[in-house]
A and B are shown apart, each in its own frame.
Chain A
């Protein structure tokens, strides 16, 4: 292939990429993939009747490719996805897809691994495509897919004289961005309830920090905490009834648990150090948090029954903003190594700590995918704040630059969002 030809192909691919992401706030760029990615062929779905506005095969292809676990192929692969989209009335479509296996085997007849049929409206096609991606991913990897989940993050648009802060929610692939709150004052620390229906966050809209809980579907919200000093780092308990939060009303930063129904506060730490960024264990029996009680910030675990506090992190002189994997066996955290802030993961059984992001720019705010496969975080790229994802085994890395402004402080939704 000549260079010229290669360049023209590259240009076409870029143009295609761009047109596909016109309606996405964030675009996805796979920057590191697995060498052993599973090859899969996804054939364009056969269309009968009026063509739909969304290309289901293209969405499924993007999902699987950006997971880093699959390699798209047009050749002969063992696994193949085929499907049809049939017009079924005004703005309604019937979709059928099949996941077939065995094209490389000796048997002439491939095995049907999945065969499903759906009837949806035109505006449900995108979410159906993600649902199909989830089904294929789970069938082939044994792990539940996260293609139907959502991301919350804060967009910062600096203008002349004023800065706009937008708390936004988008699909996991960056499409369908919707603002949850727009403000001229900072917004930070979004936290999803475990059912994905509500988000707690910190807003400075009244010239001081306060914690609000907002209903994602309706946008209605309630003020939860507005004490003197800082009101921050909200974290939902697994049962959705309590909120761990951080208050500095006593003059130092301590962790409290609020019963959301009664608004009753129970202090968990009561000292003069910095204690912040609480995160619940999946079973709800303990919290991990950041504290500088040992001199520099490290991760500690607090047993809620015994109130015993034990140090968890030992690698490096800065570890903060930790959270558990869904199985409770690992925790991800922000780690500083030779002046650079990276995302790392600690195996709680072996005590082995591993840095996952090996970029030359600082990262922030790691947030775990609900299936434990990836970590979402904020990082710098070309001098701008963007989002990134890294696999918890370090194998895959994805960049999600924002289209408009800086993007920071992300939170990955639970499954049911």
Chain B
């Protein structure tokens, strides 16, 4: 009981942190980046590295809406762009948030693992991001709130070259550019 409560509180705190981290949309420097963190990249990295992204480690099935709202990285099977069943709740929660906050905006970043050809991977990664976008639109999200960017294999999640690294690479990352 106690543990569950702690977990839920942590999840809520994490969620608030995540949203506040995204509160100020990144200012895009034209080529001149001071520290390598700008625009959507900075937001994406913040979401991934602040610990909020790990919210899913607490157990999605037990989590409330805030917790699934904080889950913003969705993994994909090799050569596939189908959303996994376990991610549908998190994507739905974010869709709900977008519908409740008409001025909120997101970027869906599509990624693949490094194997294969680079430009073909960009197309595969865009399909992954599009399937998340389509899922959200089907829920009723205004398409103007969603922007899709496909990086293909240009921004790997893991530097390694083993299958578990590749699994971390094959993902769509949801980034709030406006709360």
**Closest Cβ of chain A: how far from B101's Cβ, in Å?**
21
Nearest neighbor of B160 in chain A, beta-carbon distance:
A383
Pairwise interchain contact A230-B36, C-beta atoms closer than 8 A: no
- Does A232 interact with chain B (Cβ within 8 Å)? yes
Pairwise interchain contact B117-A364, C-beta atoms closer than 8 A: yes
Give the CA-CA distance A336 to B115 in the complex, in Å: 10
Most buried by A among B45, B116, B123, B155: B123
Pairwise interchain contact A230-B150, C-beta atoms closer than 8 A: yes
Pairwise interchain contact A320-B159, C-beta atoms closer than 8 A: no
Nearest neighbor of A251 in chain B, beta-carbon distance:
B130
Give the CA-CA distance A205 to B154 in the complex, in Å: 12
- Does B107 interact with chain A (Cβ within 8 Å)? yes
**Closest Cβ of chain A: how far from B106's Cβ, in Å?**
13
Pairwise interchain contact A409-B118, C-beta atoms closer than 8 A: yes
Pairwise interchain contact A183-B149, C-beta atoms closer than 8 A: no
Binds A, one of B27-35, B60-68, B92-100: B27-35
- Residues of B with C-beta under 8 A to A189: 118-119
Interface residues on B, range: 35 or more
Interface residues of A in 8-29 (CB under 8 A from B): none
- Does A389 interact with chain B (Cβ within 8 Å)? no
**Closest Cβ of chain A: how far from B134's Cβ, in Å?**
10
| A residues contacting the other copy or chain, number (CB 8 A) | 46
Contact with B along A367-389 (1 / 0, CB 8 A): 00000000000001001010000
- Does A306 interact with chain B (Cβ within 8 Å)? no
Give the CA-CA distance A342 to B35 in the complex, in Å: 37
- Residues of A with C-beta under 8 A to B148: 229
- Does A321 interact with chain B (Cβ within 8 Å)? yes
Pairwise interchain contact B120-A341, C-beta atoms closer than 8 A: no
Pairwise interchain contact A158-B159, C-beta atoms closer than 8 A: yes
- Residues of B with C-beta under 8 A to A205: 30-31
**Closest Cβ of chain B: how far from A340's Cβ, in Å?**
9
Give the CA-CA distance A115 to B117 in the complex, in Å: 46
**Closest Cβ of chain A: how far from B117's Cβ, in Å?**
4
The answer to whether A184 and B126 touch (CB under 8 A), given A362-B115, A365-B117, is: no
Pairwise interchain contact B119-A277, C-beta atoms closer than 8 A: yes
Pairwise interchain contact A334-B117, C-beta atoms closer than 8 A: yes
Contact with A along B18-61 (1 / 0, CB 8 A): 00000000001011010111111100010001000000000000
Pairwise interchain contact B120-A290, C-beta atoms closer than 8 A: yes
Q: List 16 A-B contacts (CB under 8 A).
A: A159-B36, A186-B155, A188-B154, A204-B149, A206-B28, A207-B28, A207-B40, A209-B122, A209-B150, A232-B122, A274-B124, A277-B117, A290-B117, A297-B117, A297-B120, A321-B120
